Amino acid sequence: MSEPVSRIARSLESATPFVAPEALERQGFQIHLRLGANESAFGASPAAIEAMSRAATVTHWYNDPESWELREAVGAREQVPPETVVVGPGIDGLLSLICRVVLDPGSSVVTTKGSYPTFTYAARGVGAVVHEVPYSAEKVDLGGLAEAARNYGARLVYVANPDNPSGSWQCAEELAKLRAELPSDTLLVLDEAYREYAPGPGTRTPLASTIRLRTFSKAHGMAGARIGYALAEPWFSVQADKIRMHFEVNSIAQAGALASVEDPEWVKSVASRTAEGVKVVHGLCESLGLGSLDTHTNFVLVDLGSPARANRMLREMLELGVFLRKPGLPPLDRYVRVTVGLPDQMSEFGDILRRWIESGARE
Amino acid sequence: MSEPVSRIARSLESATPFVAPEALERQGFQIHLRLGANESAFGASPAAIEAMSRAATVTHWYNDPESWELREAVGAREQVPPETVVVGPGIDGLLSLICRVVLDPGSSVVTTKGSYPTFTYAARGVGAVVHEVPYSAEKVDLGGLAEAARNYGARLVYVANPDNPSGSWQCAEELAKLRAELPSDTLLVLDEAYREYAPGPGTRTPLASTIRLRTFSKAHGMAGARIGYALAEPWFSVQADKIRMHFEVNSIAQAGALASVEDPEWVKSVASRTAEGVKVVHGLCESLGLGSLDTHTNFVLVDLGSPARANRMLREMLELGVFLRKPGLPPLDRYVRVTVGLPDQMSEFGDILRRWIESGARE
C-alpha cells in the first residue's frame, strides 16, 4: 500500500531548519546560557505580560480572526490603513502564507545564500525553485539579487534587513534602488524582524509590490507567542484571506502584541540596552584578539578564523552549558553568532569565552 | 502591472468561513450571550490557566518546536508512542497541514455536504476537488462517503465524529467498517473535536491510513490558544516535518495544553456539566413546542420548522444580544445551533427564546 503523500512533500528531503535548545537538553546537555536564537533576554513589556496573563483567563473564547484591534494600533503607528496590515503567526507563518499566495510549483525565487533558512524552507514547501546569491563582503548583495531576479524571472525576492545571520543593514535609499531594478511584477519581501535594532525607521510609505514583515519575537520579547504582521498592498490581504487559516493567531498573543505596540518605550529601552550589550561583546572580542562584525541586530558574529575552529567552539560551548548557533555556509561559516543578553549573562559569557580562548592556545 | 498571485489563489473566490462575534460587534451589535461558536463557557482548567499565566512571563524564549513534553503526555494518555502525535495550531491548522502533505492540485477529497467548512476551505486552498455527500436522516452518511470515495478515487475522506453541525456520532465499529470499505490508500481523517462529549472512548488503536484529530478548543476550554494534535501513523509525522512551520505552536498554549492533559478531571466535569445543559436546552425546546436533535457535542440543533424562520430567529436573536449560528445547507438549514453554556446563561437564553416564541405567534 502506498502512502497518500503529495508530489511536493514526496520531493522534499527531511530537514530541520533549527535544532532547538530543548532538543539539545533532551540529548543530555544542560544549558544555562541561552545565547543562540536571537531571543530578547530583556523579556516582554510588563504591560504585555499583564495583558497576556489576563487573556489566559479567557482562552475559552476564540480569538478575533481579523486581529482588528491590533491592526488598527499598528496602522496608527505606521501611518497606514489597517487594511494593509496582515497579522499572522510570526514571520515564519507569514513567509509560508506569502509563498502559498504568490508562488506556483516551479516558480523562481531569489534569496541570499546562507540568509534566514526558513524562507527557503517555505518556498521549497510550495515547490518553488530557489536561486541563491552569495553574500558580498559579508553583506547582502542587493545588486546581485536584482540581477538574479531578472535572469531567473523571479516571482519573489527575499531580503532580510537587517540581515540574519550577517547582521548587515541597508538604508531606505538602497532598498528603493533594489526595488527599481526589479521587474515590476516581482514581489520584494523585506523581512524586518530586527528593525528595532537598526538605525532610522526605514521607509514608512509602502513601496509598490513590496511586503515588509515585522515580528514581536525580537525586541518586543515575545518569540514564544508567535505573532507578527505584514505591511502590504491591499491585494495581498484580499488574496491571503482566501488561503490563510482565519483563526490561526493565538488570542493571548494578540493581547500581548497590542499592549506592546502601545508601550513603545519598552522596545526603545530594549534596543538601547541591547546596543550596550553589543558594545560589550565587541569589546570582549577585541580584548581576546578575535574579530567581530558590525551589527544592526541583537547579535554579534564573532570571527573564529576558520570554520573548523568555529564549529569546535560551538560544540565545546554547548558542553559548557552555553547555547550558540553559527552560520553554516561560506563566507560566514568561520563566525559564531552570539545573541546579546542581559549584562550578567554577557559577563558570564565573557568569562567562559576568555577561559576557552586561554586554554585553547592549543589552536 | 499584474499582481504576483499563485494559480490556486487566483482560482479561489473570496469567502469568510465564519463571521466572528467581534466582527458583528464592530457592526454595532452588542453581544451579551455568546452561544454561537461552540466555545466552552466553563473555561479552561484552573491548572491550565495558571500554567499559561506562568508561561506568559517567559514568552521571550521560543517554544519547543517539537512540543515534546505535550506529545509525551498525550502519548501516555492515549497509549501511543509520542512519534505518532503531531501537535499543531488547532485542528484548523492541522487540516491545512494534512491537505498540504497529502493532496496535489486536482486530487479528489470527499466530505459531508454542510459539515465543518474549514476542511473544505483547506482542501480548496491546495487546489483539491471537493466532492460532497449529503447528510442522511440528519446524520453523516458513512456508506455514502465510502461509495463516493471509490467513485471519485478520493485521496482523502473527512469525517467529523461527533459531527458539527449535525451533532451526530458514530461508534468505533461503524468507523472501522467505513475504513474497511475505503481503498487502502485513501486517507481517512477523523475530526474528533467534540469527542470528550461523546459516549465511549472510540478506538484507541490507530487504524491504518487514518488520522484522528483532537483539540484543546472545546472541552478543554482553550479555543483562543490554538492548539490541537493529530494521532497518525509515523509516515505522517515524517512528511509533516518537511512542510510544517516548526515553531508555529505558541509556547503559552503548549504549557496550558500540557497542564490540561494532566487534569483529566476538569474535562470530565465540563463534559458532565455540558450534558446537564444539553438536557436543559432539550427541555426548553420541548416546553416551547420546538423540536431538537439528539447531540453528542456541546451544542443542540433547535428545529425552527423552516429555513426562513431559522434565519429570522438568528437575526433577531443577534439584535437581542444573543450570538448564535446555524447550518446553511439542507437538510439542516431549518435548525439553529445553540452552544450549551453555564446554567445562568442557559436560563437567560431560555427567557429570551420564550419571549421570542411568544411574541412571534405572528409566525
Co-location of B104 and B214 in the same domain = yes
Provide the shortest C-alpha distance from residue A257 to chain B (in Å): 11
On the question of pLDDT at B361 being above 60, the answer is no
Instruction: Identify whether the C-beta of residue A126 lies closer than 8 Å to the C-beta of residue A103.
Output: yes
Residue A157 corresponds to which amino acid?
V
Cα end-to-end distance, chain A, whole Å = 55
pLDDT of residue B15: 81
List alpha helices for chain B, DSSP H: 7-11, 21-26, 46-56, 68-78, 90-102, 117-124, 142-152, 172-181, 234-243, 251-261, 264-287, 307-319, 343-359
Inter-chain contact A22–B66, Cβ cutoff 8 Å?
A: yes
**What would the pLDDT profile of B38-55 be if each residue is shown by its tens digit?**
999 999 999 999 999 999
**What would the pLDDT profile of B150-192 be if each residue is shown by its tens digit?**
999 999 999 999 999 999 999 999 999 999 999 999 999 999 9
Q: Say whether B294 sits in a helix, a strand or coil.
A: coil
Co-location of A326 and A188 in the same domain = no
pLDDT of residue B17: 75
Inter-chain contact A42–B60, Cβ cutoff 8 Å?
A: yes
**The last residue of a domain, from among B205, B236, B263:** B263
Name the band, by pLDDT with cuts 50, 70 and 90, for residue A2: confident
What is the domain count for chain B?
A: 2
Q: In this predicted model, which residue has the larger pLDDT, B227 or A206?
A: B227
Distances (CA, A) of A100 to A164, A242, B34: 23, 10, 34
Buried b (16+ CB within 10 A) or exposed e, B103-116: bbeebbbbbbbbbb
Q: What is the DSSP track for A234-297?
A: HHHHHHHHHHS-TT-S-HHHHHHHHHHHT-HHHHHHHHHHHHHHHHHHHHHHHHTT-EE---SS
- The CA distance from A108 to A124, in Å, is 10
**Of B13, B187, B252, which is closest to A4 when you measure between CB atoms?**
B187
Is the pTM value of this prediction over 0.90? Answer: yes
| Set of cell numbers at residue B42 | 466553563
Co-location of A310 and A189 in the same domain = no
Provide the shortest C-alpha distance from residue B20 to chain A (in Å): 7
Cα end-to-end distance, chain B, whole Å = 55
Please check whether residue A179 lies inside any domain of the structure: yes
Mutation site for B-interface testing, chosen from A14, A26, A60 by largest number of B Cβ within 10 Å: A60
> What is the residue range of B173's domain?
46-263
Co-location of A79 and A28 in the same domain = no
pLDDT of residue B205: 60
pLDDT of residue B2: 79
- The CA distance from A297 to A274, in Å, is 9
- The CA distance from A58 to A148, in Å, is 49
Which residues of A fall within a CB distance of 8 Å from B16?
Answer: 241, 246
Instruction: Identify whether the C-beta of residue A304 lies closer than 8 Å to the C-beta of residue A317.
Output: no
- The CA distance from B325 to A186, in Å, is 42
pLDDT of residue B209: 93
Co-location of B225 and B287 in the same domain = no
Average pLDDT over residues A58-73: 98
Which residues of B fall within a CB distance of 8 Å from A56?
Answer: 49, 52-53, 56, 252, 256
- The CA distance from A111 to A142, in Å, is 10
**The last residue of a domain, from among B205, B239, B263:** B263
Beta bridge partners of B229: B87, B214
Co-location of B288 and B242 in the same domain = no
Instruction: Identify whether the C-beta of residue B44 lies closer than 8 Å to the C-beta of residue A59.
Output: yes
Average pLDDT over residues B142-152: 98
Q: What is the DSSP track for B174-199?
A: HHHHHHHHS-TTSEEEEE-TTGGGSS
- The CA distance from B219 to B269, in Å, is 9
- The CA distance from A297 to A169, in Å, is 9
Inter-chain contact B224–A3, Cβ cutoff 8 Å?
A: no
Please check whether residue A2 lies inside any domain of the structure: no
Please check whether residue B276 lies inside any domain of the structure: yes
Residue A309 belongs to a domain with what CATH number?
Answer: 3.90.1150.10
Average pLDDT over residues B221-226: 98
pLDDT of residue A292: 98
Please check whether residue B226 lies inside any domain of the structure: yes
Would you call B344 exposed, middle or buried from its count of C-beta atoms within 10 A (0-12, 13-18, 19+)? exposed
Of A144, A147, A88, A154, the closest CA to residue A123 belongs to A154
Co-location of B321 and B334 in the same domain = yes
Please check whether residue A153 lies inside any domain of the structure: yes
Inter-chain contact A60–B252, Cβ cutoff 8 Å?
A: no
List alpha helices for A115-250, DSSP H: 117-124, 142-152, 172-181, 234-243
Mutation site for B-interface testing, chosen from A19, A70, A226, A233 by largest number of B Cβ within 10 Å: A226
pLDDT of residue A200: 72
Residue B353 corresponds to which amino acid?
L
Please check whether residue A175 lies inside any domain of the structure: yes
Give the β-pairing of A156-160 and A187-191: parallel
Which residues of B fall within a CB distance of 8 Å from A213?
Answer: none
Average pLDDT over residues B347-352: 98
Buried b (16+ CB within 10 A) or exposed e, A188-223: bbbbbbbbbbbeeebbeebbebbbbbbbbbbbbbbb
- The CA distance from A50 to A47, in Å, is 5
**What would the pLDDT profile of B60-111 be if each residue is shown by its tens digit?**
999 999 999 999 999 999 999 999 999 999 999 999 999 999 999 999 999 9
Residue A106 belongs to a domain with what CATH number?
Answer: 3.40.640.10
- The CA distance from B265 to B91, in Å, is 23
pLDDT of residue A207: 77
Inter-chain contact B252–A68, Cβ cutoff 8 Å?
A: no
Beta bridge partners of B34: B323
Average pLDDT over residues B272-296: 97
Please check whether residue B2 lies inside any domain of the structure: no
Co-location of B56 and B147 in the same domain = yes
Name the band, by pLDDT with cuts 50, 70 and 90, for residue A203: low
Angle between helix A251-261 and A68-78 (nearest 10): 20
**What would the pLDDT profile of A246-305 be if each residue is shown by its tens digit?**
999 999 999 999 999 999 999 999 999 999 999 999 999 999 999 999 999 999 999 999
On the question of pLDDT at B207 being above 90, the answer is no
**What would the pLDDT profile of B300-312 be if each residue is shown by its tens digit?**
999 999 999 999 9
Give Cβ neighbours of residue B363 (< 8 Å, ≥ 6 apart). B309
Helix-, strand-, coil-residue percentages of chain A, each rounded to 5: 45, 15, 40
Would you call A108 exposed, middle or buried from its count of C-beta atoms within 10 A (0-12, 13-18, 19+)? buried
Co-location of B71 and B90 in the same domain = yes
Co-location of A105 and A203 in the same domain = yes
On the question of pLDDT at B1 being above 60, the answer is no
pLDDT of residue B201: 61
**Of B42, B221, B251, which is closest to A224 when you measure between CB atoms?**
B251
Inter-chain contact B2–A185, Cβ cutoff 8 Å?
A: yes
Co-location of A153 and A90 in the same domain = yes
Q: Say whether B80 sits in a helix, a strand or coil.
A: coil
- The CA distance from B87 to B89, in Å, is 7
pLDDT of residue B202: 59
Average pLDDT over residues B123-140: 97
Phi/psi at A258 (nearest 5 deg)? -60, -45
Backbone dihedral region of B221: left (phi > 0), alpha (psi from -120 to 50 degrees) or beta? left
Grid cell 538605525 — which residue? A199
Provide the shortest C-alpha distance from residue A117 to chain B (in Å): 12
**The last residue of a domain, from among A263, A284, A316:** A263
Would you call A63 exposed, middle or buried from its count of C-beta atoms within 10 A (0-12, 13-18, 19+)? buried
Inter-chain contact A6–B100, Cβ cutoff 8 Å?
A: yes
Give the β-pairing of A33-34 and A156-160: unpaired
The Cα angle at residue B238 between residues B233 and B239, in degrees rounded to 5: 100
Co-location of B280 and B243 in the same domain = no
Q: Say whether B78 sits in a helix, a strand or coil.
A: helix
Mean pLDDT (chain B) is 95
**What would the pLDDT profile of A87-119 be if each residue is shown by its tens digit?**
999 999 999 999 999 999 999 999 999 999 999
Please check whether residue B210 lies inside any domain of the structure: yes
Average pLDDT over residues A125-148: 97
**What would the pLDDT profile of A21-56 be if each residue is shown by its tens digit?**
999 999 999 999 999 999 999 999 999 999 999 999
